[in-house]
Amino acid sequence: MDLTAFADAVGSAGPVTISGLGTRGGPVDGVHRVAAPSGIDWIQADEMIASCGAGTPVDALDAALREVGQCVALPSGGTVGGALSVGLSDVRRLGYGPVRETLLQAKYVSATGEVVKAGGPTVKNVSGFDLCRLLVGSLGTLGFLGEVIVRTRPLPQVSQWFTVAALDPSAVFQKLYRPVSVLWDGTRLWALLEGHPADVQSQADCCGLVPADGAPVVPAGDRSGVRPSQIAGLGGRFLAEVGVGVVHWHGQRPGAMSVAAQSVTKLGERLKAEFDPTGRLNPGVIVGR
């Protein structure tokens, strides 16, 4: 995929913002707007990797991968680049891992308008900055993703949500073998189980789980992190990802901005100063808030 036209559109001077499908937040208002290339370059099913433009819809990539019995561990909806730039995993993080582990290689346009390659199509250790991991969750403040190579996963034979009443999630959680997701709202637990049909049913039976129509609605309020061991003691209205420590709140989360969140914001500001000293990429966007 030739990224020359995309780099030319970004340019090397003046504020600029990038837009996708608008499902994870819109572009910065009143600023020159660009869009990343879209389209699937190739799928190597035997290597379990795929290459596509960052503007490719996640659902389109998933549909193409489904034809070879695979999928991608990115939240559905929006674009591939948008999912990576926001960096928030969906409720399958327990089983599928964080979004940052999906990105193997990226070609992005820097603040100087140059195309830069980060990472590679194989998994290996790196020294210094791991640029791919820095780009994931950076909200387009360090560079605009143009083309990516992502890791794929095999489609499970069965994928089914189950539910059960539970005042303490640990009793059920400890009996499950590699659940993809376990969610708890203080009184009820939901579990997403995948694999061979007999194994899935056996796990459900041992925990008293019954089939559910799907996952519960994830609250649209604040999102915070706690130690997984602290989830059972939470109060208020929430939906927690058991085993992960992510808590989705109905409305504003209790308490002020955590020390961890403040640290992320400060780190984002330092990286921004290194990668985009003039602040031209997605101006005004602050990572960690």
Task: Write out the chain in H/E/C secondary structure.
Answer: CCCHHHHHHHCCCCCEEEECCCCCCCCCCCCEEEECCCCEEEEECCCCEEEEECCCEHHHHHHHHHCCCEECCCCCCCEHHHHHHHCCCCCCHHHHCCHHHCEEEEEEECCCCCEEEEECCCCCCCCCCCHHHHHCCCCCCCCEEEEEEEECEECCCEEEEEEEECCCCHHHHCCCCCCCEEEECCCEEEEEEEECHHHHHHHHHHHCCEECCCCCCCCCCCEEECCHHHHHHCCCCEEEECCCCEEEECCCCCCCCCHHHHHHHHHHHHHHHHHCCCCCECCCCCCCC
Residue 264 pLDDT level (bands cut at 50, 70, 90): confident
Quickly name the fold that domain 4-154 has: 3.30.465
- All CATH 3.30.465.10 domain ranges in the chain, comma separated: 4-154
Please report the pLDDT score of residue 128 as a whole number: 56
Q: Could you tell me the two tokens for 182?
A: 């376990």
The answer to whether residue 76 scores a pLDDT higher than 80 is yes
Mean pLDDT to the nearest integer, 26-32: 91
The answer to whether residue 14 scores a pLDDT higher than 90 is yes
Q: Could you tell me the two tokens for 285?
A: 């966007």
Please report the pLDDT score of residue 269 as a whole number: 87
Q: For a pLDDT cut of 70, what percent of the chain falls above it?
A: 93
Q: 150 near 49, Cβ under 8 Å?
A: yes
Distance set, CA 31 to CA 10, 25, 27 (Å):
11, 15, 8
The answer to whether residue 286 scores a pLDDT higher than 90 is no
Backbone angles phi, psi at 127, to 5 degrees: -115, 150
Please report the pLDDT score of residue 287 as a whole number: 84
**pLDDT single digits (tens) 109-125:** 999 999 999 998 875 54
Place of tokens 């189950």: 162
